[in-house]
Amino acid sequence: MKRSSETQRSQRKNEHIRWAVELADGPGRTGFGDVLLRPEAVPDLDSRAVDLSTTFLGLRFPFPLLINALTGGTGEAARINARLAQVAKATGLPMAVGSQRIALRDPKLTYTFTVVRRVNPRGVIFANLGAGSTPDEALRAVEMVEAQGLQLHLNAAQELSMAEGERAFYWSEAVAAVASHLPVPVIAKEVGCGLSGASAQRLLALGVKALDVGGKGGTNFVRIEEKRRRGRGSPFLDWGLPTAWSLLDVVGTCPGAEVCASGGLRSGLDMAKALALGARICGVAGPLLTAVLTGGVKAGIRLVERWKRELRMSLVLAGARDLAELRHKPLIFTGETWNFIVQRRLTAYRKRARG
């Protein structure tokens, strides 16, 4: 029975990779199209002196990008993780592995995750498990990859869309237990439906140290599960908060929180908007997966370098010397995103719009 169960898990992992590459983003949108940085025509800046560094969970990075949780548990996943780890090593980026539960249940698959530490022995790596995990499981996952932090993913919509998925989600007690027992910080991560400000408050009260909003507009796991089981569509394909809205709500409700913006970011300009809204770092998965699968490690590095140029250009054009200054620059909000700010009474953003 165990062999059959793990075989199904491995098959599911490979199917997730396939559909993540083949399916377009959405159908929901990120909301960043409604967010504009106010142009500064006289920036009085040297682009070469612009500082793109950031701190996240007490760690300093030269560029505010996290290679976000992707995969593990199969031979193909091991090859992908090795390539992503090489990209992380070459660029100085932190990296998160995919859910390690499959390796906790079948130790023979541990190598598909430990490869990232072997390739990048001095890099920053985040472990990953579901939110219902026990402290013992969390500790084993962290030790497996010698991680500096643990992502606990929140994926109720995906599980409910999965034929073999979970149906009960009593996560609060488990999250609190892991956060209180683990020697490294815990990051609560949504996987495509977005965190609300209220959920963020609850998670911080449970002891998590950072939040990854994982908003709508990028890879859609409800859609992937529909494809896996050959469904005819679901009314929940558009479920959740667009990434920009989620970020606005989380930062507006929890202004001191350490936040990672992920979910459909596809350029350095998207990153600039997310960082201007208050994110400390941005997470990306799908574009890097496609890059390393189609063009190898060099393609992944080229993508990161392109986004660096685009983020630097964005800061210069907004008149910001660094990310701290960018977070105080005036913003312009349009369309439904402005209506969301007004409806949620997000006063700080309304003031910046008047700036």
Q: What is the pLDDT of residue 6?
A: 59
Location of structure tokens 């488990």 = 174
Per-residue model confidence (pLDDT) at position 15: 79
Q: DSSP string spanning 46-102?
A: -GGG-B--EEETTEEESSSEEE-----SSHHHHHHHHHHHHHHHHHT--EE----HH
Determine how many CB atoms are found less than 10 A away from the CB of residue 244. Answer: 30
Which residue type occupies 129?
A: L
**Residue 166: φ, ψ to 5°:** -70, 160
pLDDT at 1: 42
> Which residue range forms the structural domain that includes residue 62?
2-354
> For residue 8, what pLDDT is reported?
66
How does pLDDT run along the chain (355 residues), one tens digit per residue? 444 565 666 777 777 787 777 788 888 899 999 999 999 999 999 999 999 999 999 999 999 999 998 888 899 999 999 999 999 999 999 999 999 999 999 999 999 999 999 999 999 999 999 999 999 999 999 999 999 999 999 999 989 998 888 899 999 999 999 999 999 999 999 999 999 999 999 999 999 999 999 999 988 888 888 888 777 778 898 999 999 999 999 999 999 999 999 999 999 999 999 999 999 999 999 999 999 999 999 999 999 999 999 999 999 999 999 999 999 999 999 999 999 999 999 999 999 998 7
pLDDT on residue 5? 60
Q: Where does the chain show beta strands of DSSP type E?
A: 35-37, 54-56, 59-61, 65-67, 95-96, 125-130, 149-154, 186-190, 210-212, 258-262, 281-284, 331-333
Length of the chain: 355
Alpha-carbon distances of 142 from 117, 292, 327, rounded to whole Å: 11, 25, 32
Give the Cα separation of 349 and 262 in Å (integer): 20
Amino acid, single-letter form, for residue 275 = L
How many domains does the structure of the chain reveal? 1
For the chain, helix, strand, coil in percent to 5 are 50, 15, 35
CATH number for the domain that contains residue 58: 3.20.20.70
Q: Give the pLDDT of residue 257.
A: 97
